[in-house]
A = this chain, B = another copy of it.
Amino acid sequence: MPTLDQRSEILLRTLIERYITDGAPVGSRTLARHSGLEVSPATIRNVMADLEDMGLIISPHTSAGRVPTQMGYRVFVDSLIQVQPLNQGTMMKLEGELVEVQNRPQAIEAASGLLSELTRLAAVVSVPGSTPGSGFRQIEFVGLNNNRVLVILVTGDGEVQNRIIYTERVYSDAELVQAANHFNEAYTGQSLGGVKEKLLREIEQDSERMQQTMRTAVEMAQKLFAAGDDDKETLVVRGESNLMDIPDLGDMHTLRKLFDAFGAKRDLLHLLDESMRGPGVKIFIGNESGYEALEECSVVVAPYKVDEETIGMLGVVGPTRMSYERVIPIVDITAKLLGNALTLSD
């Protein structure tokens, strides 16, 4: 990264700020008026030429002003940005709506809604699947018709998973209750991974010698683990339609690809997962994200933590030309508040 002298920094910053608010290429005269520097447009033109040589700004055509390049934005968010403190009202709103939340889905809903509403961009929140660390708490088997058994699994943090398994024969209610009791007595409090491991060991033993109850329990368990994790980590997207009002993303083709990405969720989820390491707000500008659909976009995300441990990510997707100064603190605070809300309610 080439080093910039003070004046260049000021000019680059004001250029980007103006471009972000106006959306039009910024010329030397405008810049002279708004930079606060007491120099003529001609001087500024010289500096601008230098900035262009460095690859920080570019002019769309000969007789237009300059616009920031991706690298320009990068420098801006890394070292020039002056994030705005959060407006009193929005702070109140965020706290208000996130505190009175009762459970996890409600919290996610509130956070995504608030994010998209406050930033007027598309909000994304990654929702962790089965919390890996949380222990086994209770299990119930409910017999259905057609050799099917409904399994209800409650984990330590109060999450409920249920899935249906198909069995080879019909089990009586009594058998199912016994099997459940076996689990509940033997494994309560242990981690799910631990339960799985112990069970596999039990299965290794000659099943002929097991008593009937155990056998039933073991068959259930096998089927259960075979059914696999039903609840993958997933992604909530809200306020996509906000992006349709943004002229930068005007052409339908770009927008279509973006919406497809929202629908598929896979790529976005991957992007969020990858940036889970490390605290604080992360920003992907344009193709930094590595996904074609996000070429014209920036992604601003932050991790949210429950009990000091990061369990998911949240953020917004918007045009490269977004108001980072306004968006960053919103994403930052929302992540913190969501973490708090979940810590309290879990």
Contact = CB atoms under 8 A, between A and B. Distances in A.
Interface of A: 102-103, 137-138, 140, 142, 144, 148, 150, 152, 154, 158, 160, 162-164, 238-241, 244-245, 250, 252, 255-256, 259-260, 263
Specify how many copies of this chain sit in the oligomer: 2
A164 B154 contact: no
Contacts of A250: 252
Contacts of A103: 163-164
Given A138-B142, A241-B263, A158 B152 contact: no
A256 B244 contact: yes
Given A244-B259, A256-B241, A152 B140 contact: yes
Nearest to A148: B158
B256 A240 contact: no
A248 to B, nearest CB: 13
Given A150-B158, A241-B259, 10 more contacts: A137-B142, A138-B140, A138-B142, A142-B154, A144-B158, A152-B154, A160-B162, A239-B263, A244-B255, A245-B256
Contacts of A239: 263
B241 A245 contact: no
Contacts of A150: 154, 158, 160
Contact of A238 (B102, B152, B263): B263
Contacts of A102: 164
6 contacts: A103-B163, A150-B158, A150-B160, A238-B263, A241-B259, A245-B252
A179 to B, nearest CB: 15
Contacts of A142: 137-138, 154, 158
A110 B241 CA distance: 25
Contact of A241 (B137, B140, B164, B260): B260
A250 B164 CA distance: 45
A145 to B, nearest CB: 9
A142 B158 CA distance: 8
A141 to B, nearest CB: 10
Contacts of A263: 238-241
Contacts of A158: 142, 144, 148, 150, 164
Contacts of A255: 244
A152 B160 CA distance: 8
A161 to B, nearest CB: 9
Which 3 pairs from chain A and chain B are nearest by CB?
Answer: A241-B259, A160-B162, A244-B256
